[in-house]
Structure formats: structure tokens, C-alpha cells
Amino acid sequence: MSETPAVAPEEPKPGFRHVRLVIALAVASLLGTFAVYTAFADSSIPVLMVSQAQAYSGQKVRLEGKVTTSHGDAADASGLHFVVKDYKGSQTLPVVYTGAVPDAYKIGRDVVIDGTLKDGVFTAVPDSLVTKCPSKYSDKATTSDTKS
């Protein structure tokens, strides 16, 4: 899909050359939009396993892991406290979270949260908790991650 439309056979007439220039400019400005966006917008966020999180301490990251313990209430100011474990390793991290809790959230579920690790505690961005598709079921036909 990379080729531009076939509108340019040889020997362009003067008027036609003008058309081709504008089309080329249009393509260039589309590409330029990409370049400008990726250069100036802080558009991406690292997605980490629990074992990788330590190296990104103090940075905003997206953390993936399995919930092992959970207490407290996300509706409370003190928040929901849970611990996530690495998918493969044995590393764990305590998480403090406030905001909406997805339907599928419970102990044993794979979750994704945005937030920052500081002094060994991962403080989550409110409302960022997302549960991943429970492995008990096969992949769904439609959505793998459902927002709360």
C-alpha cells in the first residue's frame, strides 16, 4: 500500500506539473504530521513486567502482573491495596489504587495498571486498572482487554 496513486504518466503538461506538486505536498504533510507528533508528543508508555519495574523507578509506566492478595476499597481515600506477581518469576510489588474496579477483577487475575514506582510501592493512576482476558477461557472473539 506504499505506492502513491498512479496519476503521473510521462511528459507532464505545465498545468499538470502543478497538480502533481500539490499532491506530493499533501503526501508530505501527512507524513510530516506523523513526524511532528512523534517528536513532540510524549505518546508512548513502557509496558513492564513486575521483574522489570525496579529499573524504571520514578517513571510513569504500565505494569502487568497477576493479583496475589487484595484488601481495602478502591472507593475509599486510602485505596485498594493489592500485590501483583510477575507472570514468570517470583518478584512481587505492592500496588495502591483508587477509582473504578473492573468487573473481572479478583485474586488470581492478570491485570494492567498505569502508575509510578516509588520507595517500593507502585502508586497507580486512578481509574487505570484493566483486567486482561482470564486465561481460563479461550481468547474472546472481540476484546482481549476490557476497561472497567
35 binds another protein (CB under 8 A): no
Among 54, 60, 73, 118, binds another protein (CB under 8 A): 73
Q: Which residues, in sequence order, are bridge partners of residue 66?
A: 85, 110
* Residue 54 near residue 117 (C-beta atoms within 8 A): yes
| Residues whose CB is less than 8 angstroms from the CB of residue 144 and which lie 6 or more positions away in sequence, other chains included | 132, 133
Distances (CA, A) of 146 to 54, 80, 140: 27, 19, 11
19 binds another protein (CB under 8 A): yes
142 binds another protein (CB under 8 A): yes
Among 96, 104, 121, 125, binds another protein (CB under 8 A): 104
Residue 13 is given by DSSP the state -
77 vs 120, beta carbon nearer another protein: 77
Smallest gap from residue 73 Cβ to another protein (A):
6
C-alpha cell at position 36: 511532528
58 binds another protein (CB under 8 A): no
- DSSP assignment of 133-146, as one string? PPTTSPPPSS-SEE
| Residues lying near another protein in the complex (CB under 8 A) | 1, 3-9, 15-16, 18-19, 22-23, 26-27, 30, 33-34, 37, 41, 43-48, 52, 62, 73-76, 99-101, 103-106, 132-134, 136-148
